[in-house]
Amino acid sequence: MPMGQTIKILFLAANPSDETRLRLGAESTKIKEALESSSNPKDFTFSEEHAVRLDTIQRLILKQSPSIVHFSGHGAAAGSLVFENQQGNGVEADSSAIAELFRLAGENTRLIVLNACYSEQQARALAQHVDAVIGMDNAISDDTAIAFAKALYEALGERCNVKQAFDLAKNYIKLHRLPGAELPVLVERSGVPAASVLLLPLSSSRR
Domain ranges of the chain: 7-206
Task: Please provide the average confidence, as pLDDT, over all residues in the chain.
Answer: 94
Provide the b/e sequence for 21-55 (b: ≥16 CB within 10 Å): ebebebbbebbbebbeebeeeebbebebeebbbbe
- Find residue 53's DSSP bridge partners: 84
For residue 196, give the amino acid letter: S
Mean pLDDT for 92-115 is 97
Q: What SS3 state is found at 143?
A: helix
Whether the predicted pLDDT of 203 surpasses 70: no
Mean pLDDT (whole number) for 162-190:
98
Interval 150-172 mean pLDDT:
97
Position 33, amino acid = E
d(CA 193, CA 205): 24
pLDDT of residue 62: 97
Mean pLDDT of 165-169: 98
For residues 134 and 185, is the Cβ–Cβ distance under 8 A?
yes
**pLDDT interval class at 59 (50, 70, 90):** very high
The pLDDT assigned to 202 comes to 67
In which band, very low, low, confident or very high, does the pLDDT at 204 lie, cut at 50, 70 and 90? very low
Note the pTM of the prediction, 2 decimals: 0.94
Spatial contact of 38 and 203, defined as CB atoms under 8 Å apart = no
Average pLDDT on 16-24 reads 89
Amino acid identity at 95: S
Q: How confident is the model at residue 200, as a pLDDT?
A: 82
Beta bridge partners of 68: 9, 111
pLDDT band, very low/low/confident/very high, at 207 (cuts 50, 70, 90): very low
Query: Mean of the pLDDT values across residues 63-78?
Result: 96
Topology of the domain covering 7-206: Rossmann fold (3.40.50)
Q: What is the rounded average pLDDT of the residues 53-73? A: 96
pLDDT band at 20 (very low <50, low <70, confident <90, very high): confident
